[in-house]
Structure 1
Amino acid sequence: MRIEKEKTSEMDKLIAGIELHSPGPSKEHSAEKSFSRLMTRIQTDNNSIDIFRRRSNQYRIWLAAATVALLIAMSGWLYMMLDTDPSFIIKTNNSGIVQTVPLPDGTMIQLNNHSKLIYPERFSGDLREVFLEGEAYFDVKHNKKHPFIVRAGELKIRVLGTKFTVNASSQAPQITATLLEGSIEVSNEKKQMLMKPSQQLKYDVNSGNMLLTELNNAGREIRWTQNIWVLSDTPLLDICQRLEQLFNVKIIIMNDELIGKSFTGEFYTNESLESILKTMQISTSFKYERKGKNIILK
Structure 2
Amino acid sequence: MCNDRIWILMTRKLSGEATSTELKELDMLLSPLQEYNNTVFTKIAGVWNETPAHDRDFMEATYLAHLERMKDKGVVISTDEPMLVEDAIDNKRLSKRWISLKMVAFAAIFIAFMAGAWFLLTAKPSFGKDTYTASAIKEIKTPKGVRTKIKLPDGSDVWLNAGSKLNYDKKFDGGIREVYLTGEAYFDVVHNAEKPFIIHTSKVNVKVLGTQFNVKAYDDDKTTETSLIKGSVEVFLKNDPSKKYLLRPNQKLVLSNESLVLPANLAVKEEASGIKFNPQGEITELSYLHDEKVDVESSWTRNILSFEDEQFSAVAKKMERWYDITIVFRNKRWEREYMSGSFEKENMEQALIALKYTTGFNYRSEGKRITIY
Q: Is this a same-fold pair by TM over 0.5? A: yes
Name 2:355's counterpart in structure 1.
280
User: Does the 8 A contact of 1:235 with 1:261 survive in 2?
Assistant: yes
Letter in 1 for 2:252: Q
Identify which range, 252-261 or 79-88, moves more after superposition: 79-88
Q: Matched residues in 2 for 1:117 and 1:96: separation?
A: 17
Offset from partner CA, 1:83-138 (integer Å, 9 cap, x none): 24531110112273431111111111111122111111101222110011111110
Structure 2 length normalisation: TM-score?
A: 0.56
- Contact (CA 8 Å) 1:179, 1:196: kept in 2 or not? yes
Alpha-carbon distance in structure 2 between the residues aligned to 1:263 and 1:80: 53
* Corresponding residue pairs, total: 227
Q: Which has the larger radius of gyration?
A: 2
User: What is the deviation of 1:231?
Assistant: 1.5
Unpaired segments ≥5 residues, structure 1: 9-45, 47-78
The structure carrying a bigger helix percent of its residues is 2
Residue in structure 2 matching 1:212, options 274, 277, 283: 283
Indicate conservation of the 8 Å contact 2:147/2:161, yes or no.
yes
Deviation at 1:80, TM superposition (A): 12
Asked if 2 retains the 8 angstrom alpha-carbon contact of 1:230 and 1:265, the reply is yes
User: 4+ residue stretches of structure 1 with deviation over 6 A?
Assistant: none
| Post-superposition offset of 1:290 | 2.6
1:69: which partner in 2?
none
Q: Which has the higher contact order (CA 8 A, sep 6+)?
A: 1
**For residues 147-226 of structure 1, what are the structure 2 equivalents within 5 Å?**
147-188=196-237, 189-190=239-240, 191-208=243-260, 209=279, 210-215=281-286, 217=288, 219-226=295-302
Query: Which TM-score applies when normalising by structure 1?
Result: 0.69
* SS of equivalent to 1:131: strand
**CA displacement at 1:296 relative to structure 2:** 1.9
Flag the 1:229–1:82 CA change in 2: closer, same or farther, 3 A.
Answer: farther
Q: CA deviation at 1:255?
A: 3.1
Match for residue 177 of structure 2? 128
Cα distance in 1, alignment partners of residues 127 and 218 from structure 2? 26
Query: Which structure carries more strand by proportion?
Result: 1
CA distance in 2: counterparts of 1:246 and 1:146, whole angstroms: 34
1:250 aligns with 2:326: yes
What is the distance in 2 between the residues matched to 1:171 and 1:280?
23
Which amino acid letter does the alignment assign opposite residue 215 of structure 1? Answer: L
Q: Distance in 2 between matches of 1:81 and 1:99?
A: 32
Q: Give, in whole Å, the separation in 1 of the partners of 2:354 and 2:152.
A: 38
Contact 2:228–2:252 (CA under 8 A) maintained in structure 1? yes
d(CA) in 2 for partners of 1:186, 1:3: 35
Q: For residues 331 and 352 of structure 2, what CA distance do their matches in structure 1 show?
A: 15
